Chain A
């Protein structure tokens, strides 16, 4: 197991990130927060989509339910942020489990359509639920942050910790026994079932983890924007990004979504500021279709191919050299 280099590197990254909040301009934390939010969503999506091969179109639903869990708790008892995060993980984990339990025994297509439907049903529920503000939305008063230089910096550091934790979990799943079982399901579910892989249980585990992780990403959202209404919480761009980032990075391993999210997330933040937000959406769509059609293994796959090509080239040259001598 290649445990050794990952966690020290992650810890170092976290310390650097936290330290940078005292040095860097405020804007970068807002942008950084959004990129990291995308990173968690992409990593979560990939646990089911990439590792297991089941497509979730309802990422925005899970994300929004995490956000609304925070809103409900805030309206009821106003607990510390950490409590809201844990609660959102539980609620959305159960939601993922429930959706998976109902539809994962059918063909994968039905699961995909059901997740899409789930997101809209949840949105309708939230629009009609006055306790969380209904269609008009709800405000959240930001909690105190004595230690950090600004509120956005605090949010950023919190998100950084959550993102590192999520990637660590995805990495663990990728290399663990569970991950191998999931890969078996992705490659050939019937064969996996025949070989004694407990397919339904594994699928439910990965759906639950996916849901919980998306809920965690959403839990901070109300605290970040301080105002939540259904239209923005259930925004389609959340779902599109959650699919596009792993697809662009490469879905086979935990690394792909990280690369995809950092790249696509940064590009989006840049275009949003420098060009326009509609064009930004178009870019995401075109990149998604382009990568899916032309580079199915994503950037990771392209890099591997390039590496293999370099090696083959070098060997050929050495071989030629020897032949000449």
Chain B
């Protein structure tokens, strides 16, 4: 059962998986980590991304990653709209905690049911030249359906990290999470900054959705397993730290892969949730955290 071969392959598969998880968690890391908005509908939007990519792929034979990129502006606008509703209905009136949570729970449910109404509950998958092929490096197998999402996820994570730390608006997003009043005194409009950040958060969901459907078939309620996973990653990483999010994603990817290889696939879903519960109990501020 146990061999170096198996172990190294499980490790590499875990790293590839973890890199992809970073892409899924990235949007939430901005929205939940920086803006403190508990968008539990984020995975549902990722699934929505998968389905629009599926639609483009089957109708026009478009490459999934390209299709995902193509939809980022639309998802950005969707994010701005969702945030404006959230702001007008909940944030402005100070009802974020209970009503805001219920709002996103309802949004998640609506997105999921809408997909079911249009596409049904069957599994859907995309087609691309590289899916199904594997790169062999020594004893390590690198399937392209994992490698491509990994590389795309890394590029996206790097891009967002660069944007947040080096550009003016990116730094304004960090500022709004740190001190809203100070930002306002500097003449910036926090609501606009937050709309922008929420939009970017959702735009990443379009690409994450594309990567998700490259990795494997997707069905409408697929997002639920990801809720705990992405929150585990964001909280373990330390709210809002992109570096922490990436590290936590890799950590959870590797743990899941190990559990899957050495204990059994049906236990893998519980890994992230156990990590989440343990983090909340033992180190709620996460790896790189401010509380």
Task: Say yes or no: A278-B280 contact (C-beta < 8 A), given A55-B98, A116-B228.
Answer: no
A109 x B102 contact (CB < 8 A): no
Task: Say yes or no: A240-B109 contact (C-beta < 8 A), given A127-B266, A279-B117, A296-B95.
Answer: yes
For B103, give the chain A residue with the smallest CB separation: A292
Give B249-291 as 1s and 0s: 1 = Cβ < 8 Å from A's Cβ atoms: 0000000000000001011011011101100110010000000
> Number of B residues contacting the other chain (C-beta, 8 Å)?
42
A108 x B97 contact (CB < 8 A): yes
Task: Say yes or no: A288-B280 contact (C-beta < 8 A), given A124-B270, A128-B267.
Answer: no
Q: How distant is the Cα of A289 from the Cα of B225 in the complex, in angstroms?
A: 22
User: Which residues does chain A contribute within 8 Å of B284, judged by CB atoms?
Assistant: 106, 110
User: Which residues does chain A contribute within 8 Å of B266, judged by CB atoms?
Assistant: 124, 127-128, 135
B102 x A118 contact (CB < 8 A): no
User: Which residues does chain A contribute within 8 Å of B89, judged by CB atoms?
Assistant: 292-294
> Number of A residues contacting the other chain (C-beta, 8 Å)?
42
B40 x A288 contact (CB < 8 A): no
Q: How distant is the Cα of A85 from the Cα of B276 in the complex, in angstroms?
A: 31
Specify the main secondary structure of chain B where it touches its partner.
Answer: helix
Nearest Cβ on chain B to A302's Cβ, whole angstroms: 15
Is B116 in the interface zone, CB < 8 Å from A? Answer: yes
Nearest Cβ on chain A to B220's Cβ, whole angstroms: 10
Is A285 in the interface zone, CB < 8 Å from B? Answer: yes
Highest count of chain B CB atoms <10 Å: which of A53, A106, A286, A292: A292
Nearest Cβ on chain A to B194's Cβ, whole angstroms: 17
Q: How distant is the Cα of A128 from the Cα of B269 in the complex, in angstroms?
A: 12
Nearest Cβ on chain A to B278's Cβ, whole angstroms: 10
B40 x A116 contact (CB < 8 A): yes
Give A216-248 as 1s and 0s: 1 = Cβ < 8 Å from B's Cβ atoms: 000000000000000000001000100110010
Our pick among A124, A244, A289, A296 for the contact of B107 (Cβ within 8 Å) is A289
For B227, give the chain A residue with the smallest CB separation: A116
A288 x B116 contact (CB < 8 A): no
Residues in B50-70 with C-beta less than 8 Å from chain A: none
Our pick among A117, A236, A289 for the contact of B273 (Cβ within 8 Å) is A117
A103 x B280 contact (CB < 8 A): yes
User: Which residues does chain A contribute within 8 Å of B274, judged by CB atoms?
Assistant: 121
Q: How distant is the Cα of A247 from the Cα of B101 in the complex, in angstroms?
A: 12
Task: Say yes or no: A288-B228 contact (C-beta < 8 A), given A53-B97, A102-B280, A114-B280.
Answer: no
Is A120 in the interface zone, CB < 8 Å from B? Answer: yes
A121 x B273 contact (CB < 8 A): yes
Is A112 in the interface zone, CB < 8 Å from B? Answer: yes
- 15 examples of A-B residue contacts, CB within 8 angstroms: A49-B98, A102-B280, A113-B228, A113-B231, A113-B280, A116-B227, A128-B264, A278-B117, A282-B117, A284-B109, A285-B110, A288-B102, A288-B109, A292-B99, A296-B95
Which A residues have a C-beta under 8 Å from some C-beta of B?
49, 53, 55, 57, 102-103, 106, 108-110, 112-114, 116-118, 120-121, 124-125, 127-128, 135, 236, 240, 243-244, 247, 251, 278-279, 281-282, 284-286, 288-289, 292-294, 296
Which B residues have a C-beta under 8 Å from some C-beta of A?
38, 40, 85, 89-90, 95, 97-99, 101-103, 105-107, 109-110, 113-114, 116-117, 221, 224-225, 227-228, 231-232, 235, 264, 266-267, 269-270, 272-274, 276-277, 280-281, 284
List 16 additional A-B contacts (Cβ < 8 Å) besides A110-B284, A286-B106.
Answer: A53-B98, A55-B98, A102-B277, A102-B280, A103-B281, A116-B40, A117-B272, A118-B273, A124-B270, A236-B224, A240-B106, A240-B109, A244-B106, A288-B109, A294-B89, A296-B99
